[in-house]
Amino acid sequence: MNFWERLYFPAIFQGMGITFRHMFKKKETIFYPEVEREFSENWRGMHSLKRDEQGRERCTACGLCALSCPAEAITMIAGERQKGEEELYREEKYAAVYEINMLRCIFCGLCEEACPKEAIYLDGPIVPADYLRKDFIYGKDKLVEEPLKA
Amino acid sequence: MSDKVKVTIDGITVEVEPGTSILNAARQIGGDIVPPAMCYYSKLEGSGGKCRTCLVKVSKGSEKDPRPMPKLVASCRTGVMDGMEVQNITSPEVIEARKGVVEMLLINHPLDCPVCDQAGECHLQDLSYEHGVADTRYEFDRRTFERIDIGDKIQLHMTRCILCYRCVYVADQITDNRVHGILGRGDASEISTYIEKAIDNDFSGNVIDVCPVGALTDKTFRFKNRVWFTKPVDAHRDCPKCKGKVTLWYKGEEVLRVTGRKDQFGEVEDFICNTCRFDTKNTSDWVIEGPRHISHTSVISSNHYEMTPLPVIKDNPILIEANKIEFDRATKV
């Protein structure tokens, strides 16, 4: 190495040059959760249990989602629709309890594919973080779509 | 020469007693060549000949008269002859005809499998899965009926019925007093008990077991669980009325329903009485024999293992020690 090279100045200036150049470039960082990146079309996030065009729950608790689930994350208890509940549930059987363990779920989308009633879709956001295991068991209160606005 | 007759089904020769039907001869061979049957039930005299799913082609009538039979024949109703040659799955004609039969059976079937309690052990489901086509050409409204309670334990969904008459034969032959039958004719026929009179009989519950579809289902099991989430266990008890050999369907600790033991052709080995079926649903009532073997092709076999389960965290001291922090946190919560 000659004298100039031994001073390391050229290398230092070259490195700093790269650093300063990046200061004026557009930032790649996104401030989640205030800002969210655009998801791809086939993104699979949190599940939602859908309602039909009349606002009735589509799920009939047939159990095919739970059967297809490779992580065994889904459990349900079926209920029988009573007289007067025709506005709430689409078929004579409905899911009285429907739970998904989000810690078990691998977001593979097989439940969505198995559903014969088009009742479950993984079209939600990223499942939020939490502290307790029990809070990751999502019931119908978190999963069912908002009722239709009149 | 022995008095047995030789019959060849799909190239496999078997010797059977004279007077045996082709279907039973095929069942003696077993395997894929057994024609499916929706209405025939070996334990019920006179059953069969109604659903036409067991159609086969007889390509050689017998040794004496080798002409083939002019049409496909119902194998449950046709006796074997010496030297007869039968084609089942090797004949494209039979496969095609069976597709037609499935479409015909499904014309008035509501296809409400997601709601139906029979789903998973339904012969019509299996049959249409194996032989059917994906869609129907039928464009008209399907027949509908209100669902009927036959007594407080049996539920009749007439919409699902394929009119196989098995339950009528059960009522005729197994129970003392026949109180139900088929009313009406053709498209309008339906199973009923005349003014919905309750079947009040010790063996009436067997109509649930013989029903190949979900038309007659156990009301005590209605919507309790899907069959493939329950665990079948063989058990027996001393029953004064029947042999008491049953299958218990467990979910956790609870017996959700009791059925007869069904063999590979979906027929019960012994008919069981209503006390065994409906009234004794505690583990303490039964002597457990062990897990029931379920064919791996059945949906019921999914996630079922015929072995002792591996030790879970709570029983295994090493794992308890390793997961101590996790347990502490859980108890704090």
Residue A43: inside a domain, yes or no? no
Inter-chain touch B114–A116, beta carbons under 8 Å:
yes
Mean pLDDT, rounded, for B156-174: 86
For residue B303, what is the nearest residue in chain A, using CA coordinates?
A: A67
Residue A26: inside a domain, yes or no? no
* Residue B194 pLDDT level (bands cut at 50, 70, 90): low
Inter-chain touch A63–B302, beta carbons under 8 Å:
no
Domain that holds residue A119: 48-143
Q: Which of B103, B80, B63 is CA-nearest to residue B28? A: B80
- Residue A133 in 3-state DSSP? helix
Longest dimension (CA), chain B: 86
Using N-to-C axis directions, what is the helix angle for B123-131 and B92-106, rounded to 10°? 130
How far apart CA B177 and CA B187 sit, in angstroms, is 27
- Which of B40-54, B118-132, B134-148, B173-187 has the weakest average pLDDT? B173-187
Is residue A91 a contact partner of residue A79, using CB atoms and an 8 Å limit? no
The phi, psi pair for B257, rounded to 5°, reads: -155, 165
**How many C-beta atoms surround the C-beta of residue B202 within 10 A?**
17
Contacts A79 to B, Cβ<8 Å: 223
Provide the 8-state DSSP code for B104: H
Specify the pLDDT at position A58: 94
Domain-by-domain residue ranges, chain B? 5-95, 107-216, 224-333
Domain at B107-216: CATH architecture = 2-Layer Sandwich (3.30)
Question: Residue B333 pLDDT > 70, yes or no?
Answer: no
Is residue B127 a contact partner of residue B104, using CB atoms and an 8 Å limit? no
The pLDDT mean for chain A works out to: 91
Is residue B50 a contact partner of residue B39, using CB atoms and an 8 Å limit? yes
Q: How far does A30 lie from chain B, in Å, by closest CA? A: 34
Residue A127: inside a domain, yes or no? yes
Specify the pLDDT at position B151: 79
Interface residues from chain A to B (CB-CB < 8 Å) = 60-64, 66-67, 72, 78-80, 91-93, 116-117, 132-134
Inter-chain touch B114–A91, beta carbons under 8 Å:
yes
Specify the pLDDT at position B195: 45
Inter-chain touch A117–B224, beta carbons under 8 Å:
no
Residue A93: inside a domain, yes or no? yes
Q: Which residues pair with B149 in a beta bridge?
A: B155
How far apart CA B200 and CA B179 sit, in angstroms, is 9
The pLDDT mean for chain B works out to: 86
Contacts B228 to A, Cβ<8 Å: 63, 67
Inter-chain touch A60–B115, beta carbons under 8 Å:
yes
For residue A135, what is the nearest residue in chain B, using CA coordinates?
A: B333
Residues B267-322 have pLDDT tens digits of 999 999 989 999 989 989 899 998 888 888 888 887 777 766 555 666 778 877 87
Is the domain spanning B5-95 CATH 3.10.20.740? The answer is: yes
CATH number of the domain where residue A56 is located: 3.30.70.3270
* CB pairs A-B closer than 8 Å: 40
Question: Residue B167 pLDDT > 90, yes or no?
Answer: no
* Residue B244 pLDDT level (bands cut at 50, 70, 90): confident
Question: Residue A4 pLDDT > 80, yes or no?
Answer: no
Specify the pLDDT at position B88: 92
Contacts A117 to B, Cβ<8 Å: 114
Which residue positions of A form the known binding site for [4Fe-4S] cluster?
59, 62, 65, 69, 105, 108, 111, 115
Contacts A92 to B, Cβ<8 Å: 115
- Which of A59-63, B177-181, B323-327 has the weakest average pLDDT? B177-181
A87: left (phi over 0), alpha (psi -120 to 50) or beta: alpha
Q: How far does A57 lie from chain B, in Å, by closest CA? A: 14
- Residue B216 in 3-state DSSP? strand
Q: Which residues pair with B245 in a beta bridge?
A: B236
Q: To 10 degrees, the CA torsion angle through A126, A131, A135, A138?
A: 10
Residue A6: inside a domain, yes or no? no
Question: Residue B166 pLDDT > 80, yes or no?
Answer: yes
- Overall domain count for chain A: 1
B188: its two tokens: 């309008």
Contacts A67 to B, Cβ<8 Å: 226, 228-229, 299, 302
Mean pLDDT, rounded, for A25-43: 88
Enumerate residues 6+ apart whose C-beta is below 8 A from B76.
B21, B22, B23, B35, B37, B39, B40, B48, B49, B54
Share of chain B above pLDDT 70, in %: 92
How far apart CA B167 and CA B178 sit, in angstroms, is 10
Mean pLDDT, rounded, for B20-25: 94
Residues A89-147 have pLDDT tens digits of 999 999 999 999 999 999 999 999 999 999 999 999 899 999 998 899 999 999 999 88
Inter-chain touch B225–A92, beta carbons under 8 Å:
no
Q: How far does A63 lie from chain B, in Å, by closest CA? A: 7
The phi, psi pair for B167, rounded to 5°, reads: -65, -30
Q: Per-residue DSSP letters for B181-210?
A: EEES-GGG-EEE-TTTPPP--TTTTHHHHH
Residue A112: inside a domain, yes or no? yes
* B332 near A CB under 8 A: no
β-strand pairing of B84-87 with B5-9: parallel
- Helix (H) / strand (E) element for B247: namely strand B245-251
Residue A150: inside a domain, yes or no? no
